[in-house]
Structure 1
């Protein structure tokens, strides 16, 4: 099993820069030239037949990388023009040295966007405007340059990070939308969460020859897990029997929402649970038996009727289709008093946020699975605040409620006592109803198969997203949650 990838803050990467130069015994301009070379090589590999290059350079080290790229393009006789967002006379240090290098190679440098010429489909734009030091509102001429890049018809390469994207949080207002981002020294968290996945395109990492011991001295913000670094379920013994693999109870499905609870039960069964029970409104029993007769469906009209069903299960998942009625609150209150591990989702989270049921409860044996809106309600804030720093928001929910928190998104964050993990899995086609219900069932099934909560959360998020990717092979639009069920079964082994 591979180790996860560390993701760093902008300040931590600057520290890596400093330590790398000391370890390599080279001046900073040499590291800048390595960065420019790495980006240019990737540019040529991706777009070998590009006709022209337009480079947009800021006044800092990110702009210096851009000047190096322009110089290398001139050496290859590729027509190249640089827009100097900062007057070259005001450049200092390495940025000035890189500018002078570009000048020696005969690069055309202009200081007005009107002098750049057209940006047609044969013109590649290189974004080297802001880098990781960006914060606050954009001002002219940077804002105008970003808008021009966004309107260009050709491909876009971002140097280190798309300008306008926050390297620490992944939040963004006006920002460059790149086809490829070549990032250096350390992977930045903002590339992989929030708006990052939508703005970065393909992310390519260039370590620039930094020795491994340098990384040991700098603490990352997050650990990013991929398929090779996530613990899987062990093979089943030849003499296995169903009671060894967990009895899961799904609680939910108020009137009009029966499908959500049933999909959670189906995904739990497909993810390998030995037994699956469903406690739902009586009106949903016929559909449950027809759709999935393997699920033991029970009619429940009150919290009192739920009570005997809470004795047998190893794991209880509550929330899919639960609603917010008095019936819903009764069921959640009863579930919350059990000693079984819990998976809490959807309206169970919304009821929890209201504070009338399970007020002030913190548990080490539950997994909460909010999306951004539910996380905002749990924290008593709005979604803008949550999205401004998703990592901090996930950690805040975990601090308030304990256990494990899965904050769902393009870069799903898993907060636990040991820190925060990130998993990029899935696709935009999964933005449809019922997908979260499947995840709830998968998490419960994996806990029932004896994975610790954190490991169950990691594997469930990856498995859910990868099943979505496989199911989307025929197209993302129109992808239904139930399309993932066959793939969940194939991937869980």
Structure 2
């Protein structure tokens, strides 16, 4: 390495992030604060951070695509574009053909970005100002997206919209710098389906941006590679994280069972649901609770579904109920009640929710129970500390009286608002599932697109109810239940995602819960 070169003299240190750091997700504003702490407290000049970022991204590219024979870099302005120019200069130094789309004219670049532009220019990178002048790609070309950074918000403007379309349509692998251009760093929101770069990998710096793991983030980031750029561990407690991300390794698990265990030690779960034509949802929730380890399972459903339940799963104690009055005495014995799978929105449905909502047992509330709750006729103004609400985006929007797009634009804020309105624990389901409770907000990323099929939410309801019945605190049960459900989906999809059925997850849930 040329120690006299103003850019390459400062390389990024390849470091493995700590487990604690890996679980903290930050807003764009918080990451800017972290940047400033590194600059001030560690006395690292801003240009040095840019050099480290460019080096880290270039090393990531070479590691992931070792056969690369050409690189195309698409640069905007600011630090994100500056990182791209560093990458281009490093590629040119190594005699890798590199072309750069200059999205922001040189006379509008400032500070470190302008210095990085000069480095790429001196090293011989080909700089073009028209997308049509970018060379064709071949099978070993890699594209680098350095168009828009964490400061982006609002609608895309020229030439960034055209550049994003060009990158997505090039047919070559894409590495995004810090985050895919067009993605909100805070929420994972995108203005339009085509208005975001679809990356194969994203290398992100200093702090993990929350938007990489929320909303559209998991669908467009590819593999996320984190580089701390030499930031000291003691700067992170100085800046609050937006939320915490859990992985399987960070979750509380159920304790091992003693040799003399008996069924009453592992909870009695009751599933309430299964209106006319919807009996399967309630049965799947009951079976999921059983496969998650519950000692006793009851099902309160329409009389027409009892025989089918006994035939499919005789271990479940199926009770025919035709009214809330008939349900009432059945609510005395369960430790936890899950209400909503296949519940419908009929008068029968409302009666059952009204009774279940006031039972002494802990609750898991899903599906049409949430829609009835949103309607305001049943349990109006009701709050409980010992219930878990599990809405998807549409149900969350109805609970808050807002549009689906408003929930998508900021799922963390939406989950917080639902939790403040209803108390308890809220699980806002998605590719990045947000869990909000009195002590904070968390996210878990697991599962796969094959799980976009009927009945998956019913399984999750049964799993979470089972974990609560086995003694887990509600937030811990929510975390573990979401992870078990998603991981079981991943294992069940080993033979393919299309055609994946909810019941395909059941054997995998059983294998994972221990």
TM tier, shorter chain?
A: over 0.9
| d(CA) in 1 for partners of 2:482, 2:457 | 10
Structure 1 alignment gaps of length 5 or more = none
Unaligned runs of 5+ in 2: 1-17
* CA-CA distance at 1:122 after TM superposition: 3.0
Corresponding position of 1:259: 280
Aligned residue among 322, 330, 342 for 1:309: 330
Is the aligned partner of 1:178 residue 2:199?
yes
Which residue in 2 is equivalent to 1:333? 354
**8 Å Cα contact 1:23/1:211 also seen in 2:** no
Aligned to 1:209, the other structure's residue is in SS state coil
Q: Is the 8 A contact 2:27 2:209 kept in 1?
A: yes
Show the counterpart of 2:28: 10
Matched residue, 1:402 = 423
1:120 deviation in Å?
A: 3.9
* Count of matched residue positions in the alignment of Structure 1 and Structure 2: 493
2:444 maps to 1:444: no
Q: Among residues 84, 87, 91, which one is paired with 2:105 in the alignment?
A: 87
Is the Cα–Cα contact under 8 Å of residues 120 and 152 in structure 1 kept in the other structure? no
The superposition leaves residues 245-269 of structure 1 with CA deviations (integer Å, 9 ceiling, x where unpaired) of: 1000000000100000000000000
CA distance in 1, matches of 2:62, 2:180: 19
**Matches of residues 56-71 of structure 1 in structure 2 within 5 Å?**
56-71=74-89
2:5 corresponds in structure 1 to: none
Check conservation: 2:332, 2:360, Cα contact below 8 A: no
Q: TM-score, normalised by structure 1?
A: 0.99
1:123 corresponds to 2:145: no
* Selected match of 1:40 from 32, 37, 58: 58
- 1:479 is aligned to 2:497: no
Aligned to 2:165: 147
**TM-score of the aligned structures, taking structure 2 as reference length:** 0.95
Residue pair 1:36, 1:69 contacting (<8 A) in 2 also: yes
- Inter-partner Cα distance in structure 1 for 2:260 and 2:53: 56
More off after superposition, 476-485 vs 100-109 = 100-109
1:342 is paired with a residue whose SS is: strand
Alpha-carbon separation, structure 2, partners of 1:341 and 1:207: 42
* CA offset digits 1:428-455 (Å, max 9, x no partner): 1000000000000000000001100000
Deviations 1:219-250 (A, max 9, x none): 00010000111100010111111001100000
Confirm whether residue 361 of structure 1 aligns to residue 373 of structure 2. Answer: no
What does residue range 218-233 of structure 1 map to in structure 2 within 5 Å? 218-233=239-254
- In structure 1, the partner of 2:268 is 247
Name 1:206's counterpart in structure 2.
227
Query: What residue in structure 2 maps to residue 283 of structure 1?
Result: 304
Alignment of 1:362-381 (within 5 A): 362-381=383-402
Instruction: Name the CA distance, whole Å, in 2 between partners of 1:38 and 1:142.
Output: 24
Aligned to 2:313: 292
In the TM superposition, what whole-angstrom CA distance separates every residue of 1:71-92 from its partner, at most 9, and x where no partner exists?
1111111100011111112211
Aligned to 2:287, the other structure's residue is in SS state helix
1:2 shift after superposition = 5.5
Q: 2 CA distance for matches of 1:35 and 1:69?
A: 9
Q: Whole-Å Cα distance in 1 between the matches of residues 201 and 466 of structure 2? A: 37
Partner of 2:47: 29
Contact 1:2–1:228, Cα closer than 8 Å, also in 2: no
Where do 4+ consecutive residues of structure 1 move more than 6 Å?
none
Equivalent residue, structure 1, for 2:475: 454
Partner SS for 2:381: coil
Q: In 1, distance between residues paired with 2:161 and 2:141?
A: 20
Q: 1:269 aligns with which of 279, 283, 290?
A: 290
3-state SS, counterpart of residue 259 of structure 2: coil
SS at match of 1:131: coil
